[in-house]
Amino acid sequence: MIVDVALPLSLAFIMFSLGFGLTPADFGRVLTMPKAVATGVVMQIVAVPLTAFVLLQLFNLPPALAFGVMLLSFCPGGVTSNVLTKLGAGNVALSITLTAVVSLLSVVTVPLLVSWAASAFLEAEAPDINVTSIAIAMFAITVLPVLLGLGMRKLAAAKAEKLERVMSRVAVVLFAVIVFAAIGTNWVLITENFAHLGPFFVSMNILLLVVGVLVARVIGLSGADGICIAIEMGVQNAALGIAVAGLVANAAGITEYAVPSALYGIIMYLVTIPAIFILRRLFNPVSVPGRGMT
């Protein structure tokens, strides 16, 4: 019961902190840097799930875990992607915009893609997927908190910068709590499948980072934009993946479908943090100053 209440509330606060960290300029970048924003959105919504799907054809994962991998791949960038983008000398302003835009779009894209993935990977074992119900629930725990955060920032404009830092730190702590709670709840299942899931996620994370940088380079974006897009692809909102798994299963607690999101919530940092320093040296991006970090 505690988990069922704490999980959506924690995710809602994480999304509220995202909204509180946004300004009109973050959405204005859709018009001022359309090529970079459009590329980042397409790579996040299309290329990440496609990469996960292709890799699943090469790895022999149980259907429930394969479905959980796809759930994770449908999620937007993680709450710390902006921090990691700054660390990698990427375009922080672009990172903030992409996180916001893809998070808002996810209320439409995730339910539809989840319905397809359930049929493709679970087949006869697939639970009944109510796309509308999932969309409404996602709106309540993602879009609504973001909008409330935007409104609260306007009301607390004088103290916004200080409050933003505090909320960002709390959001990161809550994210860690959600991930570790999911791991603890499914510890036996994780240890039984780690030999498969571990190599799978390391491969997936590296591939996403490399593809993000290379695509950006091929179409003529700057090195800083490429680093940003790569990190947005490689660092997923695992907390949302865990929450969506619960919505799909319509069951109490943290379900089996949430295991991939929980495990990736740790692996993505172990891979991404050293990788961004390598990418930074290889592509020598010129860091673009950001307004701040969410």
Report all structural domains of the chain as residue ranges with CATH numbers, in order of start: 2-281 (1.20.1530.20)
Categorize the per-residue pLDDT at 20 as very low, low, confident or very high, splitting at 50, 70 and 90.
confident
Q: Is 155 exposed, middle or buried (0-12, 13-18, 19+ CB in 10 A)?
A: exposed
pLDDT of 285? 57
Q: How far apart are CA 42 and CA 44, in angstroms?
A: 5
Q: How far apart are CA 185 and CA 283, in angstroms?
A: 41
Q: How far apart are CA 183 and CA 239, in angstroms?
A: 12
Report yes or no: 58 and 250 within 8 Å, Cβ to Cβ.
no
| Of 103-117, 168-182, 262-276, minimum mean pLDDT range | 168-182
Annotate 139-191 with DSSP letters as a single string: IIIIIHHHHHHHHHHHHTGGGHHHHHHHHHHHHHHHHHHHHHHHHHHTHHHHH
User: Stretch 254-270: mean pLDDT, rounded?
Assistant: 86
**Confidence check: pLDDT of 294 > 50:** no
User: Stretch 213-237: mean pLDDT, rounded?
Assistant: 92
Decide which of 1 and 8 is more confident: 8
Categorize the per-residue pLDDT at 48 as very low, low, confident or very high, splitting at 50, 70 and 90.
very high
Residue 130: left if φ>0, alpha if ψ -120 to 50, beta else—which one?
A: beta
User: Stretch 163-172: mean pLDDT, rounded?
Assistant: 81
User: Considering the chain, what is the average pLDDT of its residues?
Assistant: 84
Q: How far apart are CA 224 and CA 166, in angstroms?
A: 27
φ, ψ at 151 (rounded to 5°): -65, -40
Give Cα separations from 93 to 30, 96, 226 (angstroms).
Answer: 11, 5, 13
Decide which of 163 and 273 is more confident: 273
Long-range contacts of 132-137 (CB under 8 A, 24+ apart): 133/247, 134/110, 134/244, 134/247, 134/248, 135/107, 135/108, 135/111, 137/247
Categorize the per-residue pLDDT at 201 as very low, low, confident or very high, splitting at 50, 70 and 90.
very high
Decide which of 83 and 182 is more confident: 83
Q: State what percent of residues in the chain have pLDDT above 70.
A: 93
**Confidence check: pLDDT of 68 > 50:** yes
User: Stretch 131-153: mean pLDDT, rounded?
Assistant: 87
| Of 13-22, 224-233, 243-252, minimum mean pLDDT range | 243-252
Q: In 108-136, which positions are buried (b, 16+ CB within 10 angstroms) versus exposed (e)?
A: ebbbebbbebbeebbeeebeebeeeebbe
**Confidence check: pLDDT of 161 > 80:** no
Categorize the per-residue pLDDT at 65 as very low, low, confident or very high, splitting at 50, 70 and 90.
very high
pLDDT of 78? 75
**Confidence check: pLDDT of 185 > 90:** no
Q: How far apart are CA 210 and CA 196, in angstroms?
A: 22
**Confidence check: pLDDT of 287 > 60:** no
User: Stretch 257-283: mean pLDDT, rounded?
Assistant: 87
Categorize the per-residue pLDDT at 293 as very low, low, confident or very high, splitting at 50, 70 and 90.
very low
Categorize the per-residue pLDDT at 212 as very low, low, confident or very high, splitting at 50, 70 and 90.
very high
User: Stretch 243-264: mean pLDDT, rounded?
Assistant: 80
User: Stretch 33-43: mean pLDDT, rounded?
Assistant: 93
